Copies of this chain bind each other. A is one copy, B any other.
Amino acid sequence: MSVVVPVIMSGGSGTRLWPLSRSAHPKQLHALVTELSMVQETALRVSSTSRDFQFERPIIVLNEVQHELARLQLEAMSVPTSHFVIEPVARNTAAVAAVAAHLVAREYGPDALVLLLPADHHIRDVPAFHEAVETAASAASSGAITTFGIKPTGPETGYGYIERGEAMSGAFRVKRFTEKPNREVAQSFLDTGRFFWNAGIFLFGSGAVIGEMEQLCAPIAEAAKKALTHADAIGDEVNLCAESFAECPSSSFDYAVMEKTDKAVVIPADIGWSDIGAWQALFDVAEDKTADGNVERGDVHLVDTRNSYVMSSGPRVGVVGLHNVVVVVTGDAVLVSDVSRTQDVKELVNALKEEGRSELL
């Protein structure tokens, strides 16, 4: 059947996981959920399977600062990769999709499929993920542009929502996308039973998406193509042309393509997904909680403490008499937060930016 080329987007900065996640060592390069880093887990997840499709060696898209560490981590695991595509500037996911589609079409032909996925998501049930990929690959082979839909577990306001339309084999046409609704709207979506969270994982034919982007967002398609054509390639390293890529409008693939195309299909994916967006998510996915409901990582000691996440990458940490807190300690910074407020860690990061404290970012 079809060739599926995984394209792992590893260029994010993961600021809400400060102080562990830093620009030169972002969350996807940390071992947060398992003993492996998230990019290592992601690469393993898209290596060989025994199904009807076969994963080609993945393409890794990232920036120069993260390149060396990501490469070392992947080499350490003996996961074969095809290319490291270096973004000279960040231009969001539509630009990455366009570059990926052109690169895959050039190397494997326009019928080859692209599995575009972030490097910093946790997927608990890998066999179910592979099953979803198989369903998506089947739809994409018929021209669909597919996105993976997660069954919502609550009226989260930080995600995009997808309303399903007409049923297809194991999938649904997309009726509508709604980006980050408020709580009431999110709850009304849940009540209908017809909505998914948008996981930000896409599978599409490289030729199909190129054609669609040329229709829907030509400036992005053109700038991305030019950046690839004029790229500086050294071995497996593809340095996108800085001048061309800088001209590319910055837009999400959701907004630039998925919300506009009539080829959008959502694949229900009951795969134990979490985007590990903030510390609370890491607390939620931890499977080694103590009897007191705590997660303990590193040199920590807890007294009368419950339902808390305490992690240290070095210093000794003692916690006394607290419930529902997150404590994250590195050599040069400390976070202490209510579990329910870890989204607001971005405010701490913003304060550091305003203070010009780049050494802590």
Contact = CB atoms under 8 A, between A and B. Distances in A.
Interface size class of A (residues with CB under 8 A): 35 or more
Interface in A256-270: none
A143 to B, nearest CB: 47
Nearest to A337: B320
A315 B340 contact: no
A316 interface: yes
Interface string A276-320: 000000000000000000000000010110000000101111111
A314 B334 CA distance: 10
Given A301-B351, A303-B347, A304-B341, A329 B334 contact: yes
Contacts of A317: 333-336
A303 B336 contact: no
A338 interface: yes
Contacts of A344: 303-304, 320-321
Contact of A338 (B322, B332, B333, B338): B322
A11 interface: no
A335 to B, nearest CB: 5
A77 to B, nearest CB: 32
A337 B352 contact: no
Interface of A: 18-19, 301, 303-304, 312, 314-322, 325, 327, 329-338, 340-342, 344-345, 347-348, 351-352, 357, 360
